């Protein structure tokens, strides 16, 4: 195999694995405890959230980026979600029922 092709293949594989690991690290496992549609907030009990700098499990109230996300889940659902820290607090940017 041509050395350039081999190096390109190795780099592509490495970058793909790294991106997958980062995406997985950003996902947080949790459980829906409360939904407040009128305020656009959700209360989630979750484990460590390394992507947010939280090493301990906790229950927190989050804002949601898109209020339509609150219609996808109900209290008691196990979920995986992604969140980011903003000036107004922590915001859920993606949420889905756990598989």
90 inside domain: yes
Using CA atoms, how far apart are residues 57 and 86, in angstroms rounded to an integer? Answer: 20
User: Distances from the Cα of 48 to the Cαs of 28, 59, 60, 61, in angstroms?
Assistant: 7, 11, 12, 15
pLDDT in tens, 79-99: 999 999 988 889 999 999 998
Separation CA 9–CA 6 (nearest Å): 5
- The CA distances from residue 45 to 1, 34, 40, 49, 90, in Å, are 51, 10, 17, 11, 14
Structural domain includes residue 47:
yes
pTM: 0.74
Q: What is the pLDDT of residues 58-78, one digit of tens each?
A: 999 999 999 999 999 999 999
The reply to whether 2 falls in a domain is no
CATH number of the domain bearing residue 62: 2.40.50.320
Write out the residue range of the structural domain in which residue 34 sits.
Answer: 28-97
According to DSSP, the β-strands at 78-86 and 28-36 are antiparallel
Residue 73 belongs to a domain: yes
* Structural domain includes residue 11: no
What total of structural domains would you count in the chain?
1
């Amino acid at each position: 195999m041509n050395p350039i092709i081999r190096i390109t293949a190795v780099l592509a594989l490495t970058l793909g694995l790294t991106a997958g690991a980062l995406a997985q690290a950003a996902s947080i496992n949790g459980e829906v405890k409360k939904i407040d549609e009128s305020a656009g907030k959700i209360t989630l009990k979750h484990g460590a959230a390394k992507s947010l700098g939280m090493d301990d499990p906790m229950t927190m109230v989050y804002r949601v980026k898109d209020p339509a996300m609150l219609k996808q889940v109900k209290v008691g659902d196990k979920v995986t979600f992604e969140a980011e820290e903003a000036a107004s607090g922590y915001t859920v940017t993606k949420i889905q029922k756990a598989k």
